[in-house]
Amino acid sequence: MPRVITVGLACCLASGCFSTPAIYPERWAEPVTVEGHACPSIDGLYANSGESRWTYGIDGQETYGARSLAHILNGGTGVNSLTLWNKLGDSFENASRDPNVSIRLAVGEGRLQVTATHADGSSRSMELPVQPDCRDGLLALEDDWDTDLWLIAPVAPEFSRKSIAFGRATDGALLVREGKTAVLWFLITPAFAYREADWIRFAELPVSTAAVAEVSP
């Protein structure tokens, strides 16, 4: 199935379907550069509430908004990672509603270790697989195809692939490039495809702000 989806996606994109590239904001600190397939160090403690940038509309208007890092990490990355969903408990895309206040990240042995801490000091942890090599100075989670059945399913299902990659800014902030590639089908025919990508920035926190209490998931 992934091969069939890929062929359909390529055909749709080649015919000029919608695509929104991730444009790095000029007002943010520059990304840390690494050579070749080296990976940036993203180990650290970060604010759960981050600033996201995206474009919308045919004229590419730019807007910014708050995003939750816990919610981004809490959703898995595709059909093979459904067991990873909601390991951090309840989370919300809107950071102002999310109970998490900080996220600690550590990379080791092909895994990204995540610890999310609530305002009351309790915390929950999870691990996500990361790709062995880095590209464009970014460390990416492993991704896979997923299926989103619309209200008129199975007439028009959407097959999508979510990508999440991490970098570091020169001011210590965590950079997240989040992308989605999808193809919509009508019965057995690919009808429309699109790509979209956004940058999100999460400020680094001093270690002294980390909560001590920890609750096992």
Q: Is residue 80 part of a domain?
A: yes
Most confident segment among 134-143, 180-189, 190-199, 207-216: 134-143
38, pLDDT greater than 50:
yes
Q: Is residue 118 part of a domain?
A: yes
Q: Is residue 217 part of a domain?
A: no
Using one digit for the tens of pLDDT, what is the confidence trace for 138-164?
999 876 555 554 444 455 566 777 789
187 φ/ψ sector (left φ>0, alpha ψ -120 to 50, else beta): left
Using one digit for the tens of pLDDT, what is the confidence trace for 75-107?
755 445 555 667 888 888 888 889 999 999 999
Residues 6+ apart with CB under 8 A from 154: none
- pTM, rounded to two decimals: 0.76
pLDDT at 9 (0 to 100): 45
d(CA 100, CA 185): 37
pLDDT at 129 (0 to 100): 87
Q: Is residue 30 part of a domain?
A: yes
H or E element, residue 90: none
**Mean pLDDT, all residues of the chain:** 76
Q: Is residue 139 part of a domain?
A: yes
Residues 6+ apart with CB under 8 A from 189: none
Q: Is residue 33 part of a domain?
A: yes
pLDDT band of 36, cuts 50, 70, 90? confident
Q: Is residue 214 part of a domain?
A: no
Q: Is residue 215 part of a domain?
A: no
d(CA 58, CA 52): 19
Tell me which residue of 93, 112, 2 sits closest to 54, measured CA to CA: 93
> Domain count of the chain?
1
Domain membership of residue 203 as a residue range: 2-209
Residue that wins the pLDDT comparison between 178 and 30: 30
21, pLDDT greater than 80:
no
